[in-house]
Amino acid sequence: MQIIKVRFRTNAELESSLEDSLPYGGMFCPTTSQLEAEQPVIVELSAPVLPNKVLIRGRVKSWRPALPRLRVRAGATVAFEEEEAEKMDFLVDTLAGKRDIRRRRHTRLPVAVPVRYRSPEAADFAESELTEISVGGAMLSTPEPIPLDSEIILEITPPGAVRPISISGRATYHRPGGATGLRFIYRDSGGSRRLRELVRRLKET
């Protein structure tokens, strides 16, 4: 999936680029790369007000070329996906000073990856999906929230791989709708390396 990198020098630039008229939010992304309507993309944006880069999945609504004489920049209007509506709210609230924001060590990548998970004591796996992932943790979509501080084992098959890898994680917070935030637990020195490779592969798909 193509990643559009957008760097805003000021918070006012970010605010003026947001498109709140779209169903789940969106934004105008300056880019000289010509994009097709309905093309899926990931917007990677940064601005002074944001503690980390924010990555948001969306689809291109339209793209326009530059018109230098009219001082019109080339770029694409991207409509955010329904599951990313919370990130639009985060941007709006952060710009308005309504969020107590904290810097994350690792930037989360929005994904839609099927996984299996179980508790260390259970033998059977449950099917689920990751909606975000980084080297440090992930967001697991579940029918019911996983109890906080519970440990689980994830099985995920990296793109291009035949066998799944196992990752241990601990439930650290909840989102509305049953999603559970996980912090990964490294059992050996190679755990971080395997996760970095997994995130790299997911980012390239």
- pLDDT over threshold 70, residue 193: yes
Position 34 in a domain: yes
- pLDDT over threshold 80, residue 156: yes
**For the chain, what is the mean pLDDT?**
88
CA 151 to chain centre: 23
Residues 91 and 139 in one domain: no
The model carries a pTM of 0.69
Residues 90 and 113 in one domain: no
> What CATH number should be reported for the domain holding residue 137?
2.40.10.220
**29/7 Cα distance (integer angstroms):** 9
- 133 is written with which tokens? 């992932």
Residues 88 and 117 in one domain: no
- pLDDT over threshold 80, residue 38: yes
137 beta partners: 183
Domain hosting 150: range is 109-204
Residues 113 and 192 in one domain: yes
pLDDT of residue 104: 66
Residues 118 and 169 in one domain: yes
Residue type, 204: E
Q: At which of 68, 95, 122 does a domain end?
A: 95
CB atoms within 10 A of CB 82: 9
Q: Tell me the three state secondary structure of residue 52.
A: coil
Position 83 in a domain: yes
Count of structural domains, the chain = 2
CA distances from 111 to 49, 97, 151, 161, 205 (A): 24, 28, 22, 17, 10
pLDDT band for 187, please (50, 70, 90 cuts).
low
Give pLDDT tens digits for 48-95: 988 888 999 999 999 999 998 888 899 999 999 998 888 898 899 889
**130/112 Cα distance (integer angstroms):** 6
Position 130 in a domain: yes
Position 78 in a domain: yes
DSSP string over 92-147: HHHHTT-------SSPPEEEEEEEEEE-TT-SS-EEEEEEEE-SSEEEEE-SSPPP
Q: Tell me the three state secondary structure of residue 13.
A: helix
